[in-house]
Structure 1
């Protein structure tokens, strides 16, 4: 006796994402003016909205985050001679592309611009086609309960805790594929908490100005740190949402929570503005000109995510400015005037680190056999030039440091300027070391995050701070 056909839902079931959400995000990024037409399309019906948004979506079916456990089970069912049908509320252009890529489905049923094949409509279409109880159905949400009431058996995939029991009230549950866990470690990755280390740069002007005894400023900077961190997390989430396709083409970034489908896209859309709101609430307690600089950072980061990161060289210059803005914002929060020397040193150093980041990505693309970085304006053949530009910028930052150590400001801040000169070879070592690691393919993280984990970089940092401390406290002999 042959088994009844197995019907498989797409969004949240076969794939760990929702193609309607993805197409809406892509439209927001690439054609923001089209967002004004969404109410008009929705008024014509959800199927029309999906058709319109799908028309603007180009995607690689191979890179989508599939539920591999379910997919393996489906392939086994196919080998056993069972008929598999992909039935989804997504538009037929999207469903057909995915079905053709997987090559295991005998048929594809989807929304077609007239009928939104979801919930009761899907249930009625399947009942009319196969009869009541004439099919098994794999789904993931409460919307699928209408289908399970007319199915023979239920396959519950990636569902909330109470859904398997509700599905069992409709029909026999054959198998349950557990939901993806969203624990604290996942949300740390969503917020990129490890990237908050960059915001320690806010303290640099305060420390460089030798104002360490001012506890009120310490408190103000601490609040500024969390304000900047929440703002950065908001932008990181937005960047991850807009960069889904590029991240999925990357060997490591494809496991990010949104790209990998571990966290639904709609949660990112909801959380990002809330984090930004909380960031500005905290910024109100900092005072001074901190809020304008925070706003400048936010707007420039959005511009970077929206399009500047696709412009060669401009992307690295913007990254350098974003790092430097942290130092400027720290000076504003502390009520200090930022020196020309610190500003110039920061720009050149962070430009070098931005080139390190891009060079490491290009080297990874070369190893993958690609000739162009996906989502960027660079060709892999640009790697050697990027390396040259980055090393030059790094050594320029050391030159600025050397010139600063010969200025009148050093005489006022340090008891023993001669000792502070020892910082120059330390910086020369560290810049050279970072580029050496990038050249050897060891730069797997953001350069500053890499430096925090790297023993040689940490030792260089300790020696650098020790030299500045000794130059401050020791008296001339």
Structure 2
């Protein structure tokens, strides 16, 4: 049971809170029934994303066994048999699709799109430089659009750009941390890393980080109460970049949960936004 729990990576479900962001930022999440409508989509994305993690681990198991950290994953370490993992992944997919069909509107299409992109990513696209980063970013955008469509909130252009660029920034940081940590053997563990020349990911991370600040600032100007969160977001971006350059890990979810300054920054952002909208 413990191995299966590790296999589905429940800590990564934090990403699926993106579904509630449009309603939270618009101030409508406290309206009767709004938050409740996001529960089923949230569960569906949790099951679907966990299924893609299992599928990805199945394909990566041979290489993961030679990785200093990933060798401890349930499939790579032999704690979970491949056949059991396949059955488990199929059950998760069936559960996700079954729940998605209960949600009206375009949500089932968005979830299926997410699953298809994730499968293509695991099969081939994760080995293609730049494309791998954009595939990860697409997952965040689909979550955002799913939240807007399900909860009846229009996604503004600046919010769309902010989420897209932030996801590219975080994904680039993750790849940079992997490239630096694995050294000359980086390409063996992840082929796409061989496609990034020295210094490219540093430049890409700096570019997208700066772009995030611009788009988020423009978004905050449309909502006066958000302008005071720009310095906080700047600190958060700098802190994440510092973690990456220091080799402390580039996984966004793990960074948020394990890095105390980042966790406090995120918590303060939620408090400040909530106080500005719902006071």
- TM bracket, shorter-chain basis: over 0.9
Q: Is the 8 A contact 1:288 1:335 kept in 2?
A: no
Greater percentage in helix: 2
Other structure's SS at 1:286 match:
coil
1:383 positional shift: 4.8
The structure whose residues are more often strand, as a share, is 1
Aligned partner of 2:204 among 380, 383, 389: 389
- For residues 392 and 359 of structure 1, the distance between their equivalents in structure 2, rounded to whole angstroms, comes to 14
> Which residue of the other structure, out of 426, 434, 459, is the alignment partner of 2:232?
426
| Counterpart mapping for 1:295-310 below 5 A | 295-310=112-127
Secondary structure of the 2:264 match is helix
1:350 is the counterpart of 2:174: no
For 1:465, the equivalent position in structure 2 comes to 270
1:438 partnered with 2:240: no
User: In 2, Cα distance between the equivalents of 1:405 and 1:383?
Assistant: 35
8 A contact 1:228–1:279 mirrored in 2: yes
* 1:393-424 deviation line (CA, Å, top 9, x unaligned): 022111101112233xx2xxxxxx2x521211
Higher relative contact order (CA 8 A, sep 6+): 2
Partner of 2:221: helix, strand, or coil? coil
Q: CA deviation at 1:473?
A: 5.0
- Matching residue of 1:268: 85
What is the 5 A alignment of 1:3-14?
none
1:45 — aligned with what? none
Instruction: Describe the SS at the equivalent of 2:38.
Output: helix
CA deviation profile, 1:56-110 (whole Å, cap 9, x unmatched): xxxxxxxxxxxxxxxxxxxxxxxxxxxxxxxxxxxxxxxxxxxxxxxxxxxxxxx
| Structure 1 residue 373 displacement after superposition | 4.5
For the 8 Å contact 1:248–1:254, the answer to whether it is kept is yes
Give, in whole Å, the separation in 2 of the partners of 1:381 and 1:324: 24
Correspondences of 1:115-194 after superposition (within 5 Å): 184-194=1-11
> What runs of 5+ residues in structure 1 fail to find an aligned partner?
1-183, 411-416
Q: Residue 215 of structure 2 aligns with which residue?
A: 400
Relative distance call for 1:296 and 1:192 in structure 2 (3 A) is same
Larger-gyration structure (1/2): 1
Q: Which piece of structure 1 moves more, 465-474 or 270-279?
A: 465-474
SS at match of 2:197: helix
Give unpaired runs (5+ residues) of structure 2: none
- The SS at the match of 1:250 is coil
Tell me if structure 1 keeps the 8 A contact 2:21–2:144.
yes
Aligned residues between the structures: 279
